[in-house]
């Protein structure tokens, strides 16, 4: 038969029966026989005695570290009978490399970089309107660099390109590109001419 657990009422709680501690056999034994009852005072006295013993032990140990360190030092002074002037003097330096290195010159052969026959150019923008290209050219001029706007006709129509250069090395072009990046001019590309 199925049960309905949703409407089920909890079982009534039973009250515990009261017991009279005077009538229990343990209570009777404890009252009748005084030797079996441990007083809390006995435990308290034992705990206080242990704490006192621990404190006394710590007070005895407190200065012993200093005494142990001082005794070997006193014994060393008494056993060594050498006078203080028996310490050898500091030896003089026999090395001469310090003076030699100050005047030494080293020659290094650095091969020269081959000359680039094709210079580098940097393009920073390509616009449909010449006014936009001139605006970028002015922004580049504020950074102390010179650029030019070149008109290019292609299959897509007329474009205005902002070009910097020519540069002899790619390193010089990279230097200017980083300066423009710091000035928020992004998208500059370096290429051979």
pLDDT value at residue 84: 60
pLDDT value at residue 105: 85
> 3-class SS at 60?
helix
CATH superfamily of 123-192: Sporulation related repeat (3.30.70.1070)
pLDDT value at residue 33: 52
Mean pLDDT in consecutive groups of 10 residues from the start of the chain, 193 residues: 68 69 54 59 92 91 70 55 70 78 85 78 95 96 95 94 93 95 92 81
Phi-psi region of 151 (alpha: psi -120 to 50; beta: other; left: phi over 0): beta
Rounded-to-integer distance, Cα 161 and Cα 148, Å: 8
Rounded-to-integer distance, Cα 98 and Cα 102, Å: 7
pLDDT value at residue 98: 77
Backbone angles phi, psi at 103, to 5 degrees: -105, 0
Number of H helices, E strands in the chain: 6, 4
Hey, where are the domains in the chain? 123-192
DSSP 144: T
DSSP 138: H
State yes or no: cis peptide before 21, omega within 30 of 0: no
């Amino acid at each position: 038969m199925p049960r309905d657990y949703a409407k089920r009422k909890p079982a009534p709680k039973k009250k515990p029966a009261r017991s009279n501690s005077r009538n229990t056999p343990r209570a009777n034994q404890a009252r009748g026989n005084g030797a079996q009852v441990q007083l809390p005072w006995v435990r308290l006295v034992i705990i206080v005695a242990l704490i006192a013993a621990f404190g006394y032990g710590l007070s005895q140990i407190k200065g012993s570290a200093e005494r142990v360190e001082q005794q070997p030092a006193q014994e060393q002074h008494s056993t060594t009978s050498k006078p203080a002037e028996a310490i050898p003097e500091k030896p003089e330096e026999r090395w001469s490399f310090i003076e030699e290195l100050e005047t030494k010159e080293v020659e290094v052969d650095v091969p020269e970089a081959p000359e680039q026959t094709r210079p580098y150019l940097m393009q920073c923008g390509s616009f449909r309107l010449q006014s936009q290209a001139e605006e970028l050219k002015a922004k580049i001029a504020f950074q102390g660099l010179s650029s030019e706007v070149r008109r290019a006709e292609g299959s897509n129509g007329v474009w205005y390109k902002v070009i910097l250069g020519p540069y002899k090395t790619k390193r010089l072009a990279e230097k200017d590109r980083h300066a423009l990046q710091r000035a928020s001019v992004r998208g500059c590309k370096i290429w051979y001419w």
